[in-house]
Amino acid sequence: MGTFSSSKSSYGMFYSALGASPHYDVSDDVNRQVSSVGGEAIIDATVSVTTDCNALNGFPILNAIPIWPGCVHVLISGAIVRRKALTKIGSPDVGAVDGAPAPTSHRE
């Protein structure tokens, strides 16, 4: 159906005691992206930290100084899905998979 992706960079100083935005509420992005493609949910969600902040984090000695800013870039991704439509019991399509005919049962 579609893919979901949302990211945010968060900065901090004094060993993260002071931060611009320590919380990341992804619900608005989820609602907007899922509804824009007519989906209902996100599956296979992955949360990862990327290397987008290496410019600030690449100085090991400076990172030990409390006033040196630190950065974390978080990426959340997944697949947007929707349930398949239900079919009526007794319909020839019940049990069909990928266009294959529905299985039949034989009684002896």
**Per-residue pLDDT reduced to its tens digit, 47-102:** 998 888 887 777 878 877 888 888 888 999 999 999 887 776 766 555 544 444 45
pLDDT at position 97 is 46
Could you tell me which residues come within 8 angstroms of residue 97 by beta carbon, excluding any fewer than 6 positions away?
none
What digits encode the pLDDT tens for the residues 13-57? Answer: 776 677 766 678 899 999 999 999 999 999 999 999 888 888 777
> Nearest to residue 58, comparing CAs of 49, 74, 71?
71
The structural domains of the chain, with segments of one domain joined by +, span 2-81
Please tell me whether the overall predicted TM-score, pTM, comes out greater than 0.75 for this model: no
Q: How far apart are CA 9 and CA 44, in angstroms?
A: 22
SS3 call for 18: strand
Q: Are 76 and 47 in contact (CB under 8 A)?
A: yes
Residue 90 φ then ψ, to 5°:
95, -10
